[in-house]
Amino acid sequence: MRILITGQSGFVGRVLFKELQNRGYTVRGTNRTASHRHVMRDIVAVGDVGPSTDWSEALQETDVIIHLANRAHVLDESSRDPLSLFREINVEGSIQLAKQAAAIGVKRFIFVSSIKVNGERTDEYPFTPEDQPNPQNPYAVSKTEAEMALRRVAQVSSMEVVIIRPPLVIGSGAKGNFQRLTGLVRSGIPLPIGSINNRRSIVSLGNLVDFLIHCIANTQAANQTFLVSDGVDLSTPDLIRMVASSMKQSVRLFPFPVSLLKMVAKIVGQQGTANRLCGSLQLNMEKNRRLLNWTPPYSLQQGIRDAVKHETNPSQSGEKILHD
């Protein structure tokens, strides 16, 4: 079976590409530029992902696409019109790829979306794939619109679409929220989060990659939506303690009223950060077990150990686009 991975050079794509090769698949990847082409003949440059991208060379003899290339969510958005940029890449770029793929007979299109399609937090019950979408920011809106558009392509073609919504992905080279978390641990600063009693789902890179590969040929995955995590939900304090232990660092967490913590965060313009630290976000993966007979092969502890093993420079920041 011949697999195409868009965004092959990204955080997930690099590991997925190697693992597919290790399992005997014929794999091709795409990047924005041709910089890798002289080294790897199975990498195709496609330019910027958007409504006019020509995917014809990359799609040759492709059976299954795993679409990772996207404009990713960033905490410090600087664009004056981020929704337009998200739509250009995440929606129109995905539609263009899907239509070209369907036209040449690609069998399955696996789209890596985001749990943010469901919403930003859970209260009484974990999110399920059947929940009504509730996107709260431009990135999540673009992923929601992309999912809807891909389902429409599937309805008018023979190509199957599989949608996968991960939460925070941790692994070696992870940036964003996880990089900030490891930076806090490394700083040694006492943290006023000892009173937080939330529950958050996480997926380690190894488990996400395994699940993506599991969805390549499983007939039950056709035209389905899945949520994926490590299957263990942690409070923010417990997650930080586990990360600190893996980093062989000490961490000091002291109790502080959560309501006051949120109030202070709002005053200093960090309300979103406080909501992520204090709020719950849980995923129900019963569908994965029931329909696909899949359970996470790696423990959360192992995922965290792998994630902190080769840390990137915490000073690195900026927009992360997986196809670049």
pLDDT grade for 39, boundaries at 50, 70 and 90: very low
Rounded to whole angstroms, the Cα distance separating 4 from 6 reads: 6
Supply the pLDDT for residue 35. Answer: 56
Token reading at 211: 């699940």
Rounded to whole angstroms, the Cα distance separating 113 from 163 reads: 7
Alpha carbon 272 to its chain centroid, in Å, reads 19
Enter the pTM of the model: 0.90
Query: Residue 22: exposed, middle, or buried by beta-carbon count in 10 A (0-12, 13-18, 19+)?
Result: exposed
| Domains of the chain by start residue, with CATH | 2-165 (3.40.50.720)
Cβ atoms within 10 Å of 159's Cβ, excluding its own: 23
pLDDT grade for 313, boundaries at 50, 70 and 90: very low
Active site residue 298: no
**Catalytic entry in 25, 125, 139, 298:** 139
Per-residue pLDDT, averaged over 188-195, amounts to 91
Query: Residue 95: exposed, middle, or buried by beta-carbon count in 10 A (0-12, 13-18, 19+)?
Result: middle
For the chain, state the CA radius of gyration: 20
In this predicted structure, the answer to whether residue 241 has a pLDDT above a threshold of 50 is yes
Angle, helices 138-155/93-103, rounded to nearest 10 degrees: 20
If you search the block for the tokens 């997925």, which residue do you land on? 16
pLDDT grade for 311, boundaries at 50, 70 and 90: low
pLDDT grade for 32, boundaries at 50, 70 and 90: confident
Of the candidates 56, 45, 52, 59, the one whose C-alpha atom is nearest the C-alpha of residue 3 is: 59
Of the candidates 322, 4, 280, the one whose C-alpha atom is nearest the C-alpha of residue 115 is: 280
Per residue in 170-190, pLDDT (tens digit) is 987 777 778 888 888 888 889
Q: 244 with 250: CB under 8 angstroms?
A: yes
Cβ atoms within 10 Å of 126's Cβ, excluding its own: 20
Rounded to whole angstroms, the Cα distance separating 225 from 130 reads: 8
Per residue in 41-74, pLDDT (tens digit) is 688 988 889 999 999 999 999 999 999 999 876 6
Residues near 245 by Cβ (< 8 Å), separated by ≥ 6? none
Q: 92 with 149: CB under 8 angstroms?
A: no
